[in-house]
Structure 1
């Protein structure tokens, strides 16, 4: 049975993360930032399991750790990579007026900084502008992107957010109904404009005719009155 096990981070002072001697932890040697967050699998020590359990993991915990057994003069180094992930949310942002549909994807709570990809129904990359990435006060990243898509066989599109350093990825799919891919062509707009103009012209013409008729009637009445007065002279 191993008598002493030391877990440490060489970049810290004090460097010890966990020290155990004859199955008892030496709390006073531990770096304060790890207080109450490190332990070992006590029941597994007799089987040679001296793994370190770290709870309430923080981004600052990332780094190089050393496991040292003084009695054997053996040590092992390992790198701890800390990451955070979250599922993306994809929504329909609108249309471009030319038959294309604009999709929006956003994912918050990533670390380290992730990348965002758009894929079509066959898994092929879609052409999209560079995503917008914002780092919050908690050091977590929020990434978002928009892409304009055209009608396809399946109309199913995927937003994938991934971080290769921690080997993590999350994705979500969205299906766009055929009705959204309606072409708002310039000819249609022109036709509507001509129709409105024609209606306005007809209304103005009717008003002009009415005004003309009313004026003729008033002039006719004045002429009759003049003739009657002339007869009485």
Structure 2
């Protein structure tokens, strides 16, 4: 009788305890499952040689101190970084990340489990998984990392004169991914280029060049800005070209030159026709002899050149002597008759 009462007493006390234990375990399990792993919704961009922080946190905010936090890429076992049981593990870490990763623990009590990667390399580009496990509950998020290489400072050179202005070229090399080049005036407005070339070299990096023709009193002061595809930051060089280097053209000077050219053309034509007429008179001199003593002949002689007058004067003298000889001959013939 006593033993049966003892067993019944034990059963009555153990059943409520078992219920409490199961209930608390179930509640703990539900609580451990009530978190999500949150990462950035946009790709993250890093620059080669710099450090980058890959953001990741729990929602709602709770301590991750006693959870497992694993950052990995393609292989779950060979990780980028592993935190578990309150400390970091490096045994199976990927060789290229050794001594280059750090889990930021300053905010781990608030669920911040961001990873810092030191001295970014181009090979670091890709997808990263932020995986968190608490008991049998786990969740993860994926984020993309873009890696950029900033090339050289743009080199601006003045090439030659073109289209009434000065042809200016801007060049830069060592960029990844393909950069964007922009000409800008002092107010920051974009200026149209006349040419642009880009080429990827054997090392995977890009070199680029662009050119512009600047005119006097318009864009004599300008800058060449080259920036990365992912980042707003870039590199810039500026140049100022004094007005004295521009081809100097005065409208009045142009008009004067045109007038002088026209007058020179007329002068050449006049000289040509005068020489042509002089040659014609000399070649046809006998036709002028019958009229050499007339007023018309004298007027013609006075209107031509000095040298023409000399030729005609000689011809006139010859004409006079010729007449005298003919008159003397006629007188002799008459006396003889």
On the 8 A contact 2:69/2:131 being kept in 1, the answer is yes
Structure 1 runs not aligned, ≥5 long: 192-233
Q: Which residue of 2 aligns with 1:58?
A: 121
On the 8 A contact 2:226/2:234 being kept in 1, the answer is yes
On the 8 A contact 1:15/1:31 being kept in 2, the answer is yes
Q: Which residue of 2 aligns with 1:212?
A: none
Q: TM-score, normalised by structure 2?
A: 0.49
On the 8 A contact 1:88/1:159 being kept in 2, the answer is no
Query: 2: CA distance between counterparts of 1:132 and 1:66?
Result: 35
Q: Which structure shows the higher strand fraction? A: 1
How far did residue 98 of structure 1 move? 5.6
Q: Which residue of 2 aligns with 1:198?
A: none
Q: Larger Cα Rg: Structure 1 or Structure 2?
A: 2
SS at match of 2:212: strand
How far did residue 13 of structure 1 move? 7.6
Q: Which residue of 2 aligns with 1:219?
A: none
Q: Which residue of 2 aligns with 1:28?
A: 91
**Aligned residue pairs, count:** 186
On the 8 A contact 2:69/2:84 being kept in 1, the answer is yes
> Are 1:149 and 2:217 an aligned pair?
no
Q: TM-score, normalised by structure 1?
A: 0.68
What CA deviation, in whole Å up to 9, does each residue of 1:154-180 have, x standing for no partner?
521121212333343333322111111
> Are 1:126 and 2:192 an aligned pair?
yes
On the 8 A contact 2:178/2:229 being kept in 1, the answer is no
Q: Which structure shows the higher helix fraction? A: 2
Query: 1: CA distance between counterparts of 2:162 and 2:148?
Result: 41
How far did residue 97 of structure 1 move? 6.1
Alpha-carbon RMSD across the aligned residues, in angstroms, is 2.8
> Structure 2 matches for 1:4-83, cutoff 5 A?
4-10=68-74, 12=75, 15-71=78-134, 72-83=137-148
> Structure 2 matches for 1:172-183, cutoff 5 A?
172-183=237-248
How far did residue 89 of structure 1 move? 2.6
SS at match of 1:152: coil
Residues 97 and 30 of structure 1: CA distance in aligned 2, closer, same or farther (over 3 Å): closer
What CA deviation, in whole Å up to 9, does each residue of 1:24-50 have, x standing for no partner?
222112111211111112333233221
